[in-house]
Structure 1
């Protein structure tokens, strides 16, 4: 667990799902600065199966949790299309080329997991403490499973403000930086709608997207890729070199030099 402080106007409490989970719930509450009881809009639920975030309204969808072992990510790991996927093309995966990637807006870690499945080393940054807690817990559980252990070992997580961390970067620069700033989603799938409903109050819009892009362009050695809804404008500032369009999303690619050089 990380020593984090949550600053949000949204009321969140930590719930132990059983009496046996109480000690872990107390620890999470201390780490995140959240209450264990009282009125709340959301609950971070703690159980032997890991963390999940649940909205507490009567019409709330089901909980959100990070699962790298089963479900949608397991299916994508096995049947996702390999190097033919748009994200693989965007970051520049080619025969013999597996760039080092910094996913500066990691969220629930799905894009990082896809790239790690394709043998990229992917450092993740997540600045929202609740989202980071869900992601950290998902990684912890995945490290206990031999099917995905090797994959998630290529996915270290940094918790903090991506702009600050990139500006203070002292390690070898990543070849590629991947950005997926929060933007109103037009995706109609139930999963995306559920996640947007839960995450929008917690995360809000990334109003500093232009600064995020500028910091990424200053740090990346080869390229920056930005995931956007297909019809959304590019992030203000530097124009992308080119774009890759999909059915509902696109990647704006800011090329600095060839990954083969």
Structure 2
């Protein structure tokens, strides 16, 4: 079993995305409500590799990451410290990020988030070669998330005005979960968006280009 996990916010795809200046028209920023210039307080309830949190923070959001695996939490902490020392641009992004260790089901009610992002560990694909090595390592460490439904319940009752569930494009919905307000769909991933207490937003189905 592979258990050595390295997280890098400076090199690779994450750093490239920052240097290229990819903007708010991407699917994730749109899903959390950043398309019109808002900079919400987002809680990433399932931090994992931290890429989504780093992207949102690079676009101006304030992001609190929650990770319950001590191994993954430690890797995230090292990655944040390395990014902080990698130059002013990275330091500014990391300055909008906070990392907590614990179970999001317990912590969410203490944080008063505007937006909650939930990205549970999904079952492995049939063709394992399609899964990148780092994701296989992450799955080896954290396993699956059988309590994803309970986490969504906690997110929906946290007082957030928006909850976003990141989910494989063709996967069945979580059992018992109500229909989302709308979806934003990419090539392999969809974002089920649950809008809570906002007026003027109508349920819609979007299929933007990835």
Give the structure-1-normalised TM-score. Answer: 0.70
1:247 corresponds, among 180, 187, 206, to: 187
Aligned length: 199
Instruction: Quote the offset at 1:141 in angstroms.
Output: 1.0
Tell me which of the two structures has the higher relative contact order, counting C-alpha pairs closer than 8 angstroms and 6 or more residues apart. 2
Q: Cα deviations across residues 90-136 of structure 1 (Å, max 9, x unaligned)? A: 00113331111000000111000000011000000000111111111
Unmatched tracts of structure 1, length 5 or more: 1-40, 44-52, 54-63
Checking the alignment, whether the CA contact within 8 Å between 1:187 and 1:248 is kept in structure 2 is no
Give 1:260 shift. Answer: 9.2
Which of 116, 119, 124 is the matching residue for 1:180? 119
Give 1:42 shift: 4.5
Contact 1:112-1:124 at 8 Å conserved across structures:
yes
Indicate if the aligned counterparts of 1:99 and 1:259 stay in contact, CA closer than 8 A.
no
Runs of 5+ consecutive residues of structure 2 not aligned to the other structure: 202-210
2:156 is the alignment partner of 1:217:
yes
> Any idea what SS the aligned residue of 1:219 has?
coil
- Going from structure 1 to structure 2, the CA distance change for 1:100 and 1:136 (only over 3 Å counts) comes to same
Cα 1:84–1:94 change in 2 (3 A) is: closer
Q: How does 1:126-137 map to 2 (within 5 A)?
A: 126-137=67-78
CA apart distance, 1:80? 5.8
Q: Which residue of 1 aligns with 2:169?
A: 230
Residue of structure 1 in register with 2:204 after alignment: none
Matches within 5 A, 1:83-122: 83-122=24-63
Which of 13, 17, 32 is residue 76 of structure 1 equivalent to?
A: 17
Report how far residue 234 of structure 1 moved.
1.8
Task: Deviation per CA, 1:158-216: give whole Å up to 9, x if none.
Answer: 0011111124x1x4x11100000000254989784312321222211100001000000
Task: Provide TM-score, normalisation by structure 2.
Answer: 0.86
Q: 2:207 matched to which residue of 1?
A: none
